[in-house]
Amino acid sequence: MSTKPRESSRFLPRQRLMRVIGRPGKDGRLSPGQKTLLFFAMLLLLGALLAWLDPRPTLRHVNLAMLCGSTSGNYHATVDKLAAEVARQRGRIRNLSSAGSAENLQRLMAARQSCDIQFALVQDGTVPPDASGLELLGRLPQPESLIILGRNLERVRVPLDLVGMRIGIGPVGSGSEQLMQRLLSQLSELRLVVSTPTIDQQLDMLVRGELDLGAMVIDEGAALVRDAVVVRKLQILDMPDAPALARRLPFARPGTIEAGQIDYVHRLPPDDVSVLQMDTLIVGNGCAKNGATVGLLAAVSQVFPTFVQHNKGRPNLTGLPLSTVGANFLRDEGPDALGTYAPWAVDILPLPTWIQLGVALSVLFSGMAFGHRFNLWRIDAQRVRIEREIPALFHPGVTVGEIAEMQPDAAQHVPQTRARLDSLLYRLDALAERCRRKSLSILVPMGEEMSYRYQETLIAELQYALRLYRDRLPSAT
C-alpha cells in the first residue's frame, strides 16, 4: 500500500515556500503621486527643522556668570567687553563685581555646589587655597601693572628713600592687597605704615596728604590712572631696581610706562617709569559645560586676538591645574569643528575622545566582521563535509532534487541505510541550530544575517530531500 511522503513542517523547499507565502498584493501601497507628495513634504519638514535649529555657529549655548572686581576697575571693563562679544553671538555673560582677586577665588570655590558662578578674572600671584578644585583656562595678553602713586616721588631714588612712608595697598580681599602683603613681607626693613582703604579712598587720601603712597594693580591705560595723573596731579613711582624686585616674585616681571604714555600732549609721565607687571588669569571652578567653556575662550580670542599666542608654550606656574578644555583650545589654536558646530557633543566628550571612540568602534566592527566570516566559513565547511558523505549512499554527482524524487532500490532496504540517514539528519539539525544561533548574535554586523539565512536554506533543502527519501524506505521491523 502506497503512502504519501510526509513533508517536514519545519523545512520546505524554496519553491514550496513561495507557493505557501505568496507574493504581497498591492493593497496598502502608495501610488506614485502619493510617493512624490510624501517626498516633497519630507524635504519641506527637513528644511523647516534646519531653519529652526539654525546650524550657523553661534554662542547661544553660553550662559555664564563671571566675577571681575570693582565696577571702576579694569577687570569689570574687560568682562563687559567679553559679555558684549558673547551677546553679539546670542549668548550671555553676567558681570559680577567683587572686592578683588582673593574674594573671586573664595566665591568661585563656594559656588562649586550651586554652580551659579563659573568663572572669574584673577590677578596672577594670588595664592589659591589647597585642593580648591579651581582650574586655569588661560592668561589675558594685556598685562596689568603695579602702579604706586604719590606726591613728590622724584626724590625716591633708592629703596631706603621709602623708609617709614604711609602706604595704602587696596581693600582686603583684592589682588593688590595680597600682592603687596607678599611684597612687603620681604621688605620689612622699610617699616612702611600699611592701611587698606579702597582705591577711590586711597586717591582722596593721597590728595589730602593722609597717605604718602597708594598701590594698585591696574591696566596702564585705565581711566582711573589717567584721572589720578592728569586731574589729581599725582605721580607714578619709578620703582627702584624693578628687575631685582621682580626676581622675588616669580609671577611678576619688570615693565615700563613710557614718557607721555598717559598724556602725550602734556608728556605725562615726564620720564620713563619702571613698574612690575603681571598677567590676568581666567579661572574656572569646573561648573561650566565644555561647550560653554569653549565658547567663552572663543570670545576671549575675538576680544584679544593674541590670546592663543600669548599662552602657547608658557609654563604654568600659577599653582592651578590647566583645564583640559583650555589645553585643547590652545593646542588647536581655537575651537575645533565639534566645539564650533556641535557644542552639545563637546559637553559629552571632547573631540580627541570622539576620535578615539570612532577608532575603537572601527576596530570593533572589523573584529565583528572577522568573527562573522569565520563562523560562516566553519558552518559552510561542516555543511560541505556532510554533503561529501551523501554520494556514498547514492551515486557520485547526485543532486538534492534527485534525492527528493529518488525511489530506494533493493540494496537500500537495509537498516544501515536508515541509520546513516538518521545520522546525517541529526548532524544537519545541529548545524542548522548552530547557524540560527550565530545569526542572532549581537556581534553579527547589521545586514549580514542574510548570509546565515542562505546557509540555513541550503541545509533545509538538503534535510527536506533526505527526509523524503528516508520516509520511502521500508519501516524497520
Q: Tell me the pLDDT tens digit for each residue of 92-145.
A: 999 999 888 888 998 999 999 899 999 999 988 887 777 678 999 999 998 889
Locate cell 594698585: which residue?
A: 216
Average confidence score pLDDT of the chain: 84
Calculate Rg over the CA atoms of the chain: 42
Average pLDDT over residues 445-467: 88
Q: Is 121 helix (H, G, I), strand (E, B) or coil?
A: strand
Show the cell assigned to 255. 615693565
Domains, the chain? 14-18+356-472 (no CATH), 63-348 (3.40.190.10)
Q: What is the pLDDT of residues 171-181, one digit of tens each?
A: 887 878 888 88
Helix (DSSP H) and strand (DSSP E) numbers for the chain: 17, 10
pLDDT number for residue 10: 43
Averaged pLDDT for residues 61-81: 88
Q: Please return the burial class of 473, using the count of CB atoms within 10 Å of its CB with bins 0-12, 13-18 and 19+.
A: middle
pTM of the model: 0.65
Picking from 171, 64, 168, the residue whose alpha carbon sits closest to that of residue 121 is 64
Which pLDDT does position 138 carry in this prediction? Answer: 93
C-alpha closest to that of 74 among 187, 210, 213, 218: 218
**Contact indicator for 121, 78 with CB cutoff of 8 Å:** yes
